[in-house]
Structure formats: structure tokens, C-alpha cells
Structure 1
Amino acid sequence: MDSRDKDAILKTVPQKGFFGHPKGLSTLFFTEFWERFSYYGMRAILLFYMYYEVTDGGLGIDQTTANSIMAIYGSLVYMSGIIGGWIADRVLGMNRTVFYGGVLIMLGHIILALPGGFTALLVSMLFIVIGTGLLKPNVGGMVGELYSKTDPRRDSGFSIYYMGINMGGFIAPFIVGTIGQTYSFHLGFAIAAIGMFAGLVVYLLSRKKYFGLAGLQVPNPLSGEEKRKTTKIVSLAVIVLAVIGWAGVTGGWLTIERVIFSISILGVIIPTVYFIMMYRSPKTTADERSRLLAYIPLFVAAMMFWAIQEQGSNILATYANERTQLSFAGIEIQSSWFQSLNPLFIVMLAPVFAWLWVKLGDRQPSTPQKFSFGLIFAGLSFIVMIFPAIFNGTESLVSPLWLVLSFFLVVLGELCLSPVGLSASTKLAPAAFAAQMMSLWNLSNASAQAINAQVVRFYSVDTEVIYFGVIGGIAILLGIVLLLLAPKLKRFMRGIN
């Protein structure tokens, strides 16, 4: 977009009114607060809904399969962001894409709120995956649209927005989780739907007044010929998938296990294709190719980290429900409440890490070193989970403080790795692929969860010590290797720290 067009758009955005920030930030703050409330609330009880017996209000799915479905679901949510970014850039613009994404998410939760069985579960997942892919990357992009690139409030605005994400994620398990586990899973999903509805109401009532023209433009609109070609390709893809699905289900060969395995393979293939495409492009310079090579170990490290962090919503959720004492200091605990620990610790510790990096200045660790610390903390978060079984065996319930410690350690790792990874992705990206590099970073999480869909099958009470020990040990070993390679990677980064 021409800088003059950008300046003209910014003049239509009210620049004061929300703690000294553009008024539109309040709209995006509360929209994302309610979207995360609905998503994390749903996620806090979804695993239990899948594997609880039908007599207990669940679907009676095998616990191992349920854990795999949770992992593949998370993977697809991150993969769908690629589609959401493309639609905003080429068809709708960010403003409208966010709204339609919210509508699809709400519909997905409404479907879950109805007693429709396993088929309804799959349909709801489809709606939520596509809806989140439309909303999630673009609502963050809308925050950037409210500021000029030189506005000193910009970083602070993103910090306030990030607080909205984590506040929604923190509160949701206490409300949706308690209602879902105490009264009815479907009632819990209904509360999640109401949360997304509240977000849409906030968005609709204030977007025209507070956004001005921000997010309405389509940066790279499809030409007439491109629209016709895209419509044909999408229509053909939908028909082919529908025919394969129908034939597979009626023929009995398209099982949920095979679908999960296929998506797991895609989780590895897609980022590999991305790397090859960028590396071999004539638009990529020699220095940029060197930086891409440096980025590969960081990407692998991020995959390993997210493979552990994302198990908080399946394996550790199962552990909380099956292996943990759900009473502490006279308080009865719901197993879904443990899902609030991650956003709670992030809200508490993010300012500390931000202060620390500023305080250290030029003496702060390099990007590869921070990644290695993130991996080591993630590995330790799994290593600590072997001690309850070593001390007391696997027959007795364990103190909830073990899970609290595990979540605390992995958040320390997340704050070393996640914001640094976002920054590294922008700094190491070839100029011609700046946007795709951010999609690639998100794919590190998608790929991790796609692989997790196979890994979680090895977890059981009997394999608990080996499971946590091996995965945690691999993460720590990779962290040490990355630490040793850090000086060499820094040279490949060609002046980027």
C-alpha cells in the first residue's frame, strides 16, 4: 500500500480514547478477549467430552484417540491461518474477514452445544478451524492498522492486546470448565458460544465508529480472471474431497485414524515445501539464503517446544483428570481449571522478561541461545512429571502442585522462545517472503501438533515415566546442542542477532 494511502486511512481512525491509544484498540481487545474465552473454554472441556462415557455425558471415544484428535485439531487451527491471511489479502480485507471468522466460530460452538454425537463434533470442528483461521491472524493485523509504523505507542498497543488474549484464556476454564464438568458439557459449549456472540456484538457496534477505513481495503485483490480460476479450483477441491469422504466412509476405509495420520504427514510436508520454495526462489539473495539456513534449526527447536507446550491441553489435561488430587487446601478443583495456568503465568511473567531483555541490552543472549533456554525449560517441565510416579508409583493420586510446577516451567520456556521467534521470523525473512515467513512461524506449532497426534498414542499410566522422561530428555538434549551451535548460527544470520 502507498504510504500516502496509509496516512489517509489513519486520519479516519480516532487516535485517542483507550488509555491513550486509538479507540479501535478497545474493540479489538474485547473481541479477542471473548474469542479466546470461547476457544479456551471449549478446549478446556473438549477432551473430557470426547472420552467420557455416554452415561456421563460424553461421546465414549477411546482416550488415546481423543488425545490424537485434540492434537490434530490444534494443528488444523494453526494451518488454517494461511487461508485466513490469503482471503483478507485477496478477497475481503481484514475487517470483514474477522467478522465472518467470528460468526463461523460461534456456529461451531452452537453445534457443540447441541447433542448431535460424533458427526456434530466433526462439523463443529470444521467451523471452528476455518473461523479461527479467518479471525486469528487478521484481528492481530487490525491492531497494526490503527498505528503508523513510527508511532511510539505501537508496541504498547500490542502488549495491551496480548493481555486481552490471556485474560480471556485465564477466565474461560473457570467458567466454561466448571459449568461443563459440573452440569453438562453441552451447557459449557453454549457458554462458549455466548462468549463469541458477545465478541461479535462488541465488534459490530463499534467497528464503523472506531476503525474508520482501517482494514476495509483489499491489499492485493484478485483480478476477474483470477476470481474465475480460484472459484473453479476451490469448487473442484470441495467436490473431490466430498466424493473421497463419501466413498471412504461408505467403503469403510476412511477411518479417523487414517485421517489423523494423513494430516500428521501434511504437518511435515507443508513447512518443508515452504523452506524449499523460499530458498530456491530467484528473489532470495545469498545473504537471505544464509539466514534461512540459520532459521531451520530454530524452526525445529520451535517444533520441539510446541510439541511439549501443546500437550498441556491433552496429555496433561488427561493427567489432571485421572492422576491428580482434585482437592487442595480444602478447595475442590475441576480438572479443567489447570488450563488457566498458562495464561496466568504469562500475564505475571511477560513484563518481567520484557524488563530483563531491556536491562541486559547488548549483553542479552542471542536468538539461538534464547531458543535453547526455551527448549531446556520445556524439557524440564516434562522431567518433573516423572517424579510423582518414581516416589509414589502410579496407583495413587498426586499433588496438583506437580502440574502447577510443570506449567510454570514451560511458560518460562515460552517467554524465552515465542516472542523471540516472532521477532526472528521478521528479521531473518527474505524481503520477498516477509508475510509467508510469519505463516511459516505459525506452522511450527501446526507441525508440532500434527506430530503430537502420533506421539500421544504412546502415553498411558504404565508408560508415564518413560513418556515424560524421553520427551523431556530429547528437548533438553536439543537445547544443549542448539546452545553449542549458537555461535555458528549467529554467523549464518549475517549480522542479525
Structure 2
Amino acid sequence: MSRTETHVASASGPPPEDDRAFFGQPKGLLTLSGLEVRERFSFLGMQAVLVSRPTTTRLCPSAAGRRANAAPMPAVAVPTPTMTWVGLGLISAGAGLLKPNVAAMVGKPYRTDDDRRDADFALYCMAINIGAFAGPLVTGRLDDHKGWHWGFSAAAIGMTFGLVQYVAGRRHLAGRRHTAEFALAPDSPTLECARAGGPPSRRVIRLIAIGVVLGGLSFLLLVLPTSGHPGDDQLMSAWWIVGSYLLLGLGDILLETSGMSATTKLAPAAFSSQTMSLWYLSFALAGGIQAQTVKLYDDVSKPAYFGVNGAIAVAAGLAVTEAAPWLRRTMHPVH
């Protein structure tokens, strides 16, 4: 028998496959998801107050990040320009320290072939969306009726609660460090697949491709109501926007859950957080590219703007599908 083992410091708590306390997932996910709800509430709530989007660095993962992201919020809430800029800088550093570490910890308690990992990340992404939805609503209302420092204060309180929850629930995270074992018997189908170039990772590749295509379709949908209106004063039904965001949201969920799950499976054990940082780096690069692309919005026709952006995304999704055989070989043993 051929056997590959990766040993991580074991701790108290039930074996990961027996820990199903939180919707069938390890109870540590409740702590991490709660932390993510409050982090997104605070970060995107702060963005709603600022209106513009600050650039966030996510390239410096460290265990300290789970605490570092709470510190900047009170600084931003202090009504002086200096403290505001200090707080924004600390927020960039804190988000960079926190996000990759938390995402890496979400995928820790599973064997590579454990299908629960995908459901784990689905719950985790749901927590992200809950915080992202609630944050701008609460802080935006406070900004409108009480002032922008009230909005920043709400973000600070939210992140403080997240830190308290993490400290109180981190004992559940100890069970997420365990001994992972991946065994291959000489006559096992998995080994035969590996000899043939890896197991068929069709599900992950298919979901990622569908997610990208849906994102492109969300842009292409807006070509229809904007066609035939040369000016910028045309009106369209709000349902076009709803449909576009629905497609974009579905695509984002498929891409993020499958992508993050696959990233934690492929990451070397000693560099899980750094590998997840590369995943977040792709979002930063995409945001930078889009920030330049959006400058063309007023210089070209609306159908051309939405059509070209959508076509590029759909083409990228189809390219992922065409590259599936090669990706399956390089993504072994991701299922």
C-alpha cells in the first residue's frame, strides 16, 4: 500500500468526520462564520460611508490578523483627519491579515476527498453575504441621520463583537487541527485515476466555469434594455437590474465557494494562508482592471460597454470548460 500522511498538531475535540454540530459541519465553522459576518459588516459598512472603495491589501497573512482587523475601526471613528487616515491604513493591513487566515482555517478539518468541504464554504460565503448586506444598510442610515462618525462607530462595534466571538469560540477551532491522511491502495480506483493523470475533477471545474459564464450573462442581459437609446437619459425597468444582479450573485456564489474550496485542497500544508492570499490577490487584480475599464463607460455606447464585458467573461468561462482535461490533471486530487 502506498500511503501519504500529513501530520498537524492534534488537539482535543471529536474527529472532524464526527463533528457535525453546525448544520452538519464542525462547530468551529460557527465561530469563523460569525467573525466573517462582523468583518464584512464593518468593512463594507465603512465603505458605504466613504462611498469610494479603498484599496485593500490581502498579501500579509498572519495569525495576528484575526485581532488586527478590530483595531482600526475606533481610529477611523475619531473625528480628526489624521486618525481617519491612520484607521484606513490599519484597515488595509487588518483585512490582509485576517481574510486569508480565516478562509484557510475553514478548510482545515477535512480530508482532501471529504465532500463536506464544499458545503462548509457555502455556509461561509453565506455569512460573508449576510454581513455585506447588513453593513451598508446600518452604517449608511447612521451616516444619513447621525453623521459619518456614527457610521464608523457602528463598524467599530461590529468588529469588536467579532473579536469577542472569536476569543470566546476559539476552543472549538482547536479541533480543526488534526491528522490528515490520504491512503492509496494499489488496486484502488483513486490510484488508477492518478496513474491516468488524476481523478476527474469535473464538478469543481464545471461549477467555476458556470459561475464565470453567469457573471458574463449578467452584463449581456443589460445590452437589451440599453440598445436603441443613444443618450444617457433612457429609462429601463428595475427588473433588468434585478435580473442582472441575480445572475451575477449566482455566478459569484458558484465561483467563490468552488474556488476557495479547491484552493484549500491544493494548498501546501505549510503555506495554506499564503496560497489563499493568492486567491484574494486575483480579486484585487480584477478590481484594479475593472477600475480602469469603467472609465470607458461614458466614452462608448452602453450596449458596447456591457456587451464587450459580458462577452469576455463568457469566453473565459468557455475557455475553462475547454481546458478541463488539462485542469483535471493539474488539480489532482481535488474532486
Identify the structure with bigger relative contact order (alpha carbons < 8 Å, sequence gap 6+): 2
Task: Give, in whole Å, the separation in 1 of the partners of 2:233 and 2:130.
Answer: 36
Cα separation, partners in 2 of 1:455 and 1:370, compared to 1, 3 Å? same
User: In 2, Cα distance between the equivalents of 1:486 and 1:16?
Assistant: 33
- The CA distance in 2 between the partners of 1:153 and 1:495, in whole Å, is 15
Give 5+ residue unaligned stretches, structure 1.
Answer: 51-69, 89-95, 217-286, 292-361
The equivalences for 1:289-368 within 5 A come to: 365-368=202-205
Aligned to 1:437: 275
Decide whether aligned partners of structure 1 residues 109 and 464 sit closer, same or farther in structure 2, where only a CA change above 3 A counts. Answer: farther
How far apart, CA to CA, are the structure 2 residues paired with 1:23 and 1:430?
24
Summarize the alignment of residues 457-476 of structure 1 with structure 2, pairs less than 5 Å apart. 457-460=295-298, 463-476=301-314
Q: How does 1:98-497 map to 2 (within 5 A)?
A: 98-104=66-72, 106-111=73-78, 114=79, 116=81, 122-143=85-106, 159-181=122-144, 183-204=146-167, 206-207=168-169, 210-211=171-172, 365-390=202-227, 392=229, 393-428=231-266, 436-460=274-298, 463-490=301-328
The unaligned stretches of length 5 or more in structure 2 are 178-193
State the distance in 2 between where 1:148 and 1:373 align.
25
Q: TM-score, normalised by structure 2?
A: 0.72
Aligned partners of 1:148 and 1:450: how far apart in 2? Answer: 34
**Once the 2 structures are TM-superposed, how far is the Cα of residue 421 of structure 1 from its aligned partner?**
1.9
Q: Is the 8 A contact 1:9 1:212 kept in 2?
A: no
The residue type paired with residue 222 of structure 2 is: M
Contact 1:382 1:471 survives alignment (8 Å): yes
**1:35 positional shift:** 1.7
Q: Does 1:83 align with 2:60?
A: yes
Relative to structure 1, is the Cα distance of residues 10 and 431 closer, same or farther in structure 2, using a 3 angstrom cutoff?
Answer: closer
Q: Does 1:37 align with 2:5?
A: no
Q: In structure 2, what is the Cα distance between the partners aligned to 1:107 and 1:459?
A: 37
Relative to the length of structure 1, the TM-score reads 0.51
1:249-279 CA distance string (max 9 Å, x none):
xxxxxxxxxxxxxxxxxxxxxxxxxxxxxxx
Deviation sequence 1:434-491 (CA, Å, 0-9, x none): 5543332222112212222322222238653332222112212233333333345445
Cα distance change on mapping 1:123 and 1:464 into 2, 3 Å: farther
The aligned amino acid for 1:103 is A
Q: Which whole-Å CA distance do the structure 1 matches of 2:75 and 2:176 have between them?
A: 25
1:189 is displaced (CA, Å) by 2.4
1:17-73: CA deviation from partner (whole Å, max 9, x where unpaired)? 7678766554444332222211122223432xx5xxxxxxxxxxxxxxxxxxx2x61
Q: Contact 1:381 / 1:405 at 8 angstroms: preserved in 2?
A: yes
CA contact (8 A) 2:104 2:272 kept: no
Contact 2:70 2:156 in 1 (8 A): no
Do 2:37 and 2:127's aligned partners in 1 also have CA atoms closer than 8 Å? yes
Give me the whole-angstrom Cα distance separating, in 2, the residues matched to 1:179 and 1:28: 27
Offset, 1:395: 0.9
Q: Matched residues, percent identical? A: 38
Displacement of 1:157? 5.7
CA drift of 1:140 comes to 4.0
Letter in 2 for 1:178: R
Kindly state the Cα deviation for residue 378 of structure 1 after the two structures are TM-superposed.
Answer: 1.1
1:130 Cα deviation (Å)? 0.8
Please provide the CA RMSD for this pair: 4.2
Q: Report deviation, 1:197.
A: 2.5
**Per the alignment, do residues 125 and 466 of structure 1 end up closer, same or farther by CA in structure 2, a change over 3 Å counting?**
farther
Partner in structure 2 of residue 270 of structure 1: none
Change beyond 3 A, Cα 1:461–1:124: farther
Distance in 2 of aligned mates of 1:154 and 1:428: 13
More helix by share: 1
Deviation at 1:108, TM superposition (A): 5.0
1:134–1:381 CA distance, 2 compared to 1 (3 A): same
Partner Cα distance (1:459, 1:25) in 2: 41
Q: Name the amino acid aligned to 2:151.
A: G
